[in-house]
Amino acid sequence: MKLILLIVAAIMIYCIAAICMKSNDYSVSHIKKVITAKRKLKLWTLLGGVICALILVYSSYYQSASGGSGIITLNYSEASKAQNSNKTRFNMGEILSDEVIDRAIQKGGMKGVTREGLRKALVVNPVVQGDSHDRDSYHISTEFRVVYKANKETRKLEPTTVIQLVAESFKEVYIRKYAKNFGVLRFRAEEAKQFKDWDYYDIAYYLSMRADNISAYMSELNGESPSFKSKKGMSFSSLAAKSGNIRTELLDNDLLAYIRDRGISKNKTEMLKRLSYNNNMMRFDMRKANSSFNINNQAVEMYAAEMTRIALVPTIDGNKDYYMSKTKVGLDDLSLAAKTASDQAQELLLKIRKNSAFANSLRASSSAFGTNPVVDEEIDEVVQSLVNISRDAKNTAQEYTESRMNEVISVQINYPSMLRTAAKCLILTLLFFGALYVLSVTRDYTEVRLGE
């Protein structure tokens, strides 16, 4: 296109010079008069125009078939600090990492294209290039332009497809790397097959742990986005409450209470041994916790009165409001440690009592071995409830992370505008045709002069 403009300029300069030299009249009005004089339309000018149009169409097609670009935008707050969504450092090179390139090649079924070949055809740059040496023009870009220019190896690929595949691959790799893992939420009915060799007490504890996991995860996500609702209308708080209910109602109050009260076990002797061992270990831990509580209490008493005074320091909170902040003193830490130790001791004591009660029930129970159909049925019910809640929790969390992560990276591909290309070709063709017409007029004018 630049070449056409150059040729047009050269022809125009030549024509103006020729007219001036032949007539010895250098005035603009004379040149204008010669150029605008009506002359025969020469066939070669028309042919020249057509050839120019064909060359332009071909070159436009070739250009659009050999290169393209797209913009990848990072839409999360940490991006403005050059960080990933998990606050690790973001590196622009990740956009063209081995993993991304390999994935793009595999997705596009690009046979005969190597990782290096495709990488050589791609360049990534920040859309706004700042200057790290100058504070005023220092800029952290959140937009990156991926430019593709076909080389020998990649010449058969469509540029927009390549850009799209690379951008999508980067998005996938990014989400896989930085999105939350919901594997912990998955609970399939098949998992219950492993319960065959487990004792009822262990099964109940395992199921409790799974219900707790789901509940904790949902509570955490609820803290992150309390207003989120899935397409099925589920919120994290309702799911946390549901899994909490499974834990308290179906497991603690129902299944575990039944097992403990009735002293049910698949192997009574073995279970009694384990309970005794567990209680011994817990008693040991409880003694440690009690000692810790006593030591911390003694330390509190030993703390000098003049060291417990609190200084109030004026400060501002996140909303820029003033408040008087208390300075922490060592006494606070000691009190907290004492309380933690006390709570731990209490908790262990409760567990020991429950185990002891269970052990007593077991000793009183008549059956020593075998399964219990009532407990089996209750376990099936809990498993089914957990399967359902885990599926809902996983789907809701998945939906949440998808909606969030899909917004994290957006891709815009610059498709060549057909209208703009056509307009460009038309304008250049008209310019070229005009230049040829002026050339033909100039030649005619010269002939007339020579004839005179």
Q: Which residues bind other proteins (CB under 8 A)?
A: 38-41, 57, 61, 107-109, 111, 158, 161, 164-165, 168, 171-172, 175, 231, 391, 394-395, 398-399, 402, 405-406, 417-419
Nearer to other proteins, 53 or 272 (CB): 53
The residues near 397 (Cβ < 8 Å, ≥ 6 apart) are 180, 182, 185, 217, 218, 221, 236
Which of 142, 133, 162, 138 has its CA nearest to residue 150?
162
In the complex, least distance from residue 92 CB atom to other proteins, rounded to whole angstroms:
21
In the complex, least distance from residue 399 CB atom to other proteins, rounded to whole angstroms:
6
The residues near 96 (Cβ < 8 Å, ≥ 6 apart) are 119, 122, 124, 146, 166
Nearer to other proteins, 4 or 110 (CB): 110
In the complex, least distance from residue 420 CB atom to other proteins, rounded to whole angstroms:
9
DSSP string, 44-112: HHHHHHHHHHHHHHHHHHHHHHHEEEEEEEE-SGGGGGTB-TTSSBP-GGGGG-HHHHHHHHHHTT-TT
On whether the CB atoms of residues 75 and 407 are closer than 8 A, the answer is: yes
Helix (H) or strand (E) holding 307: none
Nearer to other proteins, 173 or 352 (CB): 173
In the complex, least distance from residue 186 CB atom to other proteins, rounded to whole angstroms:
10
DSSP type of residue 225: -
In the complex, least distance from residue 40 CB atom to other proteins, rounded to whole angstroms:
6
In the complex, least distance from residue 437 CB atom to other proteins, rounded to whole angstroms:
10
Nearer to other proteins, 190 or 321 (CB): 190
Nearer to other proteins, 106 or 291 (CB): 106
Alpha-carbon span 18 to 15, nearest angstrom: 5
Alpha-carbon span 56 to 48, nearest angstrom: 12
Nearer to other proteins, 304 or 419 (CB): 419
